[in-house]
Amino acid sequence: MAEGFSPALREVSNAVLAVASNLGVEQVLQRLVDVSRGLVNARYTAIGIPDGDGGFAQFLTAGMSEELIARLGPLPATHGLLGAVLDTHTSYRTGDIQRDPRFRGWWPSAHPSMRSFLGVPIVAGGDVIGAFYLTDKEGADEFSAEDQEVIELLAAHAAIAMTNARLYERSRELSILDERNRLALELHDVLSQKLFALALAADSAETLLDVDRGEARAQLARLRELTHEALEELRYLILELRPPELERDGLAITLRKHVEVLRRVQGGAPELELELEGEPPPEPDRDRELLRIAQEALHNAIRHAGATHVVLRLATDHGRLVLEVRDDGNGFDPEAAGLRARRLGLSSMEQRAGRLSGRLEITSTPGSGTIVRVEAPA
């Protein structure tokens, strides 16, 4: 490869590293569009993702003002040259797009005039999943073979980045589904049982009212107790569903607020202790995953472990974040067969730690309490 091509290769490398830091699909696409424009000095660039029904699911641009985009109207259809690039694994380059017969019939009236054109398909697993469209090479009449090679290299990396972003979003969707399933189980296993017991106590009190007033009063007392327990369970579930203000407060303050609310809801039993050792720099995606791990571990300690003392610790250690939840409860065997099938929260915590490139350790034995520890890059 020509020696003068090295700066462009470095630009592609820097672009790929920048794209890798953005995990949302739309953020990845917009970053790719912006990068492609600068790599070959194009006035306008776009990236199109077909929807499979003759249109584009997404069509992001760079170089156009918001006013111009609004005048262009709805997303274009996948015909003409736009569709032609999606129908082949081969790039297309021309000095004058308006001379191509496929140009006719798809050019909106408000569209700026364009001449030079470079179209590069994005291929993943043998399928075209999108395309780069670049027009009006600045400083030259047309895009060069070197420009085409640079964008083809970027397209190869774009295919990987887009696939990873989609997998990440799918993983998050599955994690949300897992969390909903766990909450559904909580509603079924805890609240439905409480409500059933409430109904039984009410029926018993009504039956005994004319027979044994003392026993009827006992059933009414039980009714009051079950009502308070059901309200407590409901408050806890609502607390878990309440969206945290992580971006505003940061992880440490959000954890402190969560523990304070838990103390009020639990009424001091078990005793909750918070240990904060430093304030980690904010990182919303990481902080959100760590918060959910902390909530899950605290939930298990409070609801299932029979603990009298629970400690939540957040610290930094040699460039890594450490989140730890310790309790003095019943404990269990982390390696027991079928454990994760019964406790969906354990799998959820492991998946969240994995998304952070972190490590989850659960230390526990029956009768000796539990330690849930997560280490993740700070």
Amino acid at 16: V
Cα 205 to chain centroid distance, Å, stands at: 50
pLDDT band at residue 258 under the 50/70/90 scheme: confident
Question: Residue 311: pLDDT above 90?
Answer: yes
Tabulate helix, strand, coil % of the chain (nearest 5): 55, 20, 25
Query: How many Cβ atoms from other residues are within 10 Å of residue 71's Cβ?
Result: 13
Average pLDDT over residues 239-246: 60
> What pLDDT score does 338 carry?
65
Amino acid at 41: N
Residue 109 and residue 71: Cα distance in Å, rounded? 9
Residue 31 and residue 120: Cα distance in Å, rounded? 17
> What pLDDT score does 344 carry?
55
- Coil, strand or helix at 8: helix
Give how far Cα 100 sits from Cα of 47, 96, 97, 117, Å.
Answer: 20, 8, 6, 11
Average pLDDT over residues 263-288: 83
Contact indicator for 296, 340 with CB cutoff of 8 Å: no
Residue closest to 175 by CA, chosen among 350, 364, 33: 350
Which residues is 328 bridged to in the sheet? none
Question: Residue 161: pLDDT above 70?
Answer: yes
Q: How many CA atoms lie within 13 A of 375 on its CB side?
A: 8
> What pLDDT score does 1 carry?
41
Contact indicator for 58, 49 with CB cutoff of 8 Å: yes
Contact indicator for 346, 326 with CB cutoff of 8 Å: no
Residue 285 and residue 257: Cα distance in Å, rounded? 19
Q: How many residues does the chain have?
A: 378
pLDDT band at residue 4 under the 50/70/90 scheme: very low
Contact indicator for 2, 146 with CB cutoff of 8 Å: yes
Which of 63-77, 79-93, 156-170, 233-247 is modeled with the greatest confidence? Answer: 79-93
User: Higher pLDDT residue, 11 or 366?
Assistant: 366
- For the record, the structure tokens of 237 come out as 């579930």
Average pLDDT over residues 357-370: 90
Residue 201 and residue 195: Cα distance in Å, rounded? 10
DSSP secondary structure string, 130-192? EEEEEEEETTSSS--HHHHHHHHHHHHHHHHHHHHHHHHHHHHHHHHHHHHHHHHHHIIIIIH
Burial class (CB in 10 A: 0-12, 13-18, 19+), 305: buried
The chain-wide mean pLDDT, for the chain, equals 79
Question: Residue 278: pLDDT above 70?
Answer: yes
Average pLDDT over residues 35-46: 89
Output the CA angle 241-22-27, nearest 5 degrees: 85
Question: Residue 300: pLDDT above 90?
Answer: no
> What pLDDT score does 241 carry?
58
The string of pLDDT tens digits covering residues 74-103 is 666 666 777 888 888 899 999 888 888 776
> What pLDDT score does 182 carry?
62
> What pLDDT score does 76 carry?
67
- For the record, the structure tokens of 172 come out as 């998050």
Domains of the chain plus CATH, in order, are: 3-168 (3.30.450.40), 249-378 (3.30.565.10)
Contact indicator for 91, 131 with CB cutoff of 8 Å: no
Residue 339 and residue 326: Cα distance in Å, rounded? 19
Query: How many Cβ atoms from other residues are within 10 Å of residue 178's Cβ?
Result: 16
User: First CA to last CA across the chain, in angstroms?
Assistant: 39
Residue 336 and residue 310: Cα distance in Å, rounded? 23
Question: Does residue 108 have a cis peptide bond before it, meaning omega lies within 30 degrees of 0?
Answer: no
Residue 353 and residue 206: Cα distance in Å, rounded? 52
Residues 6+ apart with CB under 8 A from 51: 57
> What pLDDT score does 142 carry?
92
Average pLDDT over residues 113-139: 90
Question: Residue 177: pLDDT above 80?
Answer: no
| DSSP structural state of residue 4 | G
> What pLDDT score does 324 carry?
95
> What pLDDT score does 3 carry?
46
Average pLDDT over residues 341-346: 63
